[in-house]
């Protein structure tokens, strides 16, 4: 899953955080890996993020957090690690007796880029990073992936700019479903699906955008919205 360099860096970050609690800066990492430029680090970090090992805040100094460790670094296996653990322990809560880092059922899904609203987007392409979504959001079978929403076209459906939507792959949809549709094999959008006869209407949930109607063979449903995750 990781290349040597990536692993080295991850290990360094991990040790650093164990030692003084603060993640290293790019320069420190540069030093540690004996590079002459930070840009190399930047790329390694990006790779680690893409693979779901770390999480970070862009443009924030030292805003790196380790999300998981590979087994080779004393990673989990038996629940050992637990990068950060909040066990939402509220008062009496009925929690199963086994004390623990309360890892719950979730699955990492790849975020396949951003999907636009008004003016669509470069079709779904590559993984930018991973998000964990509760399994309760996923169907027992079927492929899922996530997209970051760009724009405000679905605002009246409670989908805001920046939200992450979870999509289940499917090529069919029912009226009223919110779907990811590929129009003319070109642009992908998130819209509400409505069929009438041989035409398909894709309507935004925002009066500022107009509903567009296409003959059915110009629209391909790629997936349907099954969940939404927003972080403030």
Partner DNA sequence: CGTACGATGCTAACAAAAAAGCAATTGGAT
Partner DNA sequence: ATCCAATTGCTTTTTTGTTAGCATCGTACG
Which of 12, 25, 132, 161 touches DNA (CB under 7 A)? Answer: 25
Inter-residue contact 88 to 95 (CB < 8 Å): no
Q: Of 128, 191, 194, 199, which one is the catalytic site residue?
A: 191
Identify which of residues 36 and 60 has a Cβ nearer to its own copies in the complex: 60
**Looking only at residues 58 through 117 of this chain, which bind DNA when binding is defined by CB under 7 A?**
58-63
Which range in 44-52, 104-112, 147-155, 169-177 contacts DNA by CB under 7 A?
Answer: 44-52
Nearest CA to 161 among 149, 175, 173? Answer: 149
Q: In what helix (H) or strand (E) does residue 194 lie, and over which residues does it extend?
A: strand 187-196
**Looking only at residues 108 through 147 of this chain, which bind its own copies when binding is defined by CB under 8 A?**
108-110, 112, 126-127, 130-146
Binding characters for its own copies, 55-74, by CB under 8 A (x = yes): x-x---xxxxx-xx-xxxx-
Around 19, how many Cα atoms within 13 Å sit in the side-chain half-sphere?
8
Which of 10, 13, 45, 166 touches DNA (CB under 7 A)? Answer: 45
Around 35, how many Cα atoms within 13 Å sit in the side-chain half-sphere?
17
- Phi and psi (nearest 5°) for 105? -75, 115
Inter-residue contact 181 to 219 (CB < 8 Å): yes
| Residue whose pair of structure tokens reads 């003016």 in the numeric block | 119
Nearest CA to 116 among 54, 50, 191? Answer: 191
Task: Pick one of DNA, its own copies, none as the site partner of residue 195 (Cβ within 5 to 8 A by kind).
Answer: none
Should residue 160 be labelled a site residue for its own copies when binding is judged by CB under 8 A?
yes
Nearest distance from C-beta of residue 125 to DNA, angstroms: 9
216 contacts: CB under 8 Å, gap ≥ 6? 195, 198, 199, 200
Should residue 196 be labelled a site residue for its own copies when binding is judged by CB under 8 A?
no
Active-site residue, 191 included: yes
Question: What angle do helix axes 26-33 and 4-20 make, rounded to 10 degrees?
Answer: 120
Nearest CA to 185 among 123, 134, 231? Answer: 123
Which range in 32-40, 92-100, 195-203, 212-220 contacts its own copies by CB under 8 A?
Answer: 92-100
Active-site residue, 153 included: yes
Which of 39, 122, 158, 184 touches its own copies (CB under 8 A)? Answer: 158
Task: Pick one of DNA, its own copies, none as the site partner of residue 96 (Cβ within 5 to 8 A by kind).
Answer: its own copies
Taking the C-alpha atoms of residue 75 and residue 11, their distance in angstroms, rounded to an integer, is: 11
Query: Which residues here bind DNA, judged by CB under 7 A?
Result: 3-6, 25-28, 33, 35-40, 42-45, 47, 56, 58-63, 126
Which residues are identified as catalytic? 153, 191
């Amino acid at each position: 899953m990781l290349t040597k360099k990536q692993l080295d860096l991850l290990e360094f970050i991990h040790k650093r955080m164990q030692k003084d609690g603060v993640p290293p800066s790019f320069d420190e990492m540069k030093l540690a890996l004996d590079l002459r430029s930070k840009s190399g680090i930047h790329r390694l970090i990006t790779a680690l993020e893409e693979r779901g090992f770390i999480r970070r805040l862009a443009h924030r100094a030292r805003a790196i957090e380790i999300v998981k460790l590979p087994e080779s670094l004393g990673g989990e296996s038996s629940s050992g690690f637990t990068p950060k653990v909040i066990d939402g322990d509220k008062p009496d809560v009925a929690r199963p007796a086994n004390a623990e880092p309360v890892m719950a059922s979730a699955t990492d899904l790849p975020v396949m880029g951003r999907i636009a609203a008004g003016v669509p987007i470069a079709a779904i392409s590559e993984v930018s990073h991973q998000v964990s979504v509760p399994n309760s959001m996923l169907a027992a079978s079927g492929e899922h992936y996530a997209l970051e929403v760009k724009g405000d076209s679905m605002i009246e459906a409670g989908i805001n700019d920046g939200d992450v939507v979870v999509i289940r792959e499917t090529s069919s949809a029912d009226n009223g479903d919110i779907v990811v549709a590929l129009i003319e094999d070109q642009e992908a959008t998130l819209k509400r699906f409505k069929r009438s006869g041989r035409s398909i209407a894709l309507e935004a949930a925002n009066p500022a955008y107009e509903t567009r109607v296409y003959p059915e063979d110009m629209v391909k449903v790629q997936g349907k919205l099954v969940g939404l995750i927003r972080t403030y």
